[in-house]
Amino acid sequence: MSKYIAAALLASAAITVASTAMAAEHLVVYSALDTVVPATKAFTEKTGIEVDLVRLSTGELLGKVAAEGNNPKFDVLWVEGSAVMSRLAEQGILKSEQGLADKVDYTDLGRRLLPQNQAYFPITVSTTAIAVNTDKIGNAELPKTWTDLEKFAGEVGAKDPNLSGPAFQWLSGYFADKGVEAGKAELQKILTNKAIAGIPSGGALNKSLITGDTAIAIQQDTAIYGLIEQKEPIRVVYPTDGVVAIPSSIGVAKVSKHEDMAKTFIQFLLTKEAVAAMYTNTGGDSYFAPLINGVQAKGNRTDNTASWHILDDKQAAAGETEWKQWFRDQFVP
Instruction: Indicate the residue type of 141.
Output: E
Superfamily of domain 126-244+314-331 in the CATH hierarchy: Periplasmic binding protein-like II (3.40.190.10)
Q: pLDDT tens per residue, the chain (333 residues)?
A: 444 344 333 333 333 333 333 344 899 999 999 999 999 999 999 999 999 999 998 889 999 999 999 999 999 999 999 999 999 999 999 999 999 999 999 999 999 999 999 999 999 999 999 999 999 999 999 999 999 999 999 999 999 999 999 999 999 999 999 999 999 999 999 999 999 999 999 999 999 999 999 999 999 999 999 999 999 999 999 999 889 999 999 999 999 999 999 999 999 999 999 999 999 998 889 999 999 999 999 988 877 787 899 999 999 999 999 999 999 999 998
User: Is 3-124+248-297's fold the same as 126-244+314-331's?
Assistant: yes
Q: Which CATH code is given to the segment(s) 3-124+248-297?
A: 3.40.190.10
Q: What is the pLDDT of residue 231?
A: 94
Q: What does the pLDDT read at residue 43?
A: 98
CB 93 within 8 Å of CB 86: no
Global pTM reads: 0.88
Nearest-5° Cα angle at 235, 229 to 237: 125
pLDDT at 215: 96
- Give 295's contacts (C-beta < 8 A, 6+ positions apart): 272, 275
Domain ranges of the chain: 3-124+248-297, 126-244+314-331
Q: Residue 59 has what pLDDT? A: 85
> What dihedral angle (degrees, nearest 10) is formed by the CA atoms of 210, 159, 31, 316?
150
DSSP string, 263-301: HHHHHHHTSHHHHHHHTT--SGGGGPEE-BTT-PPSTT-
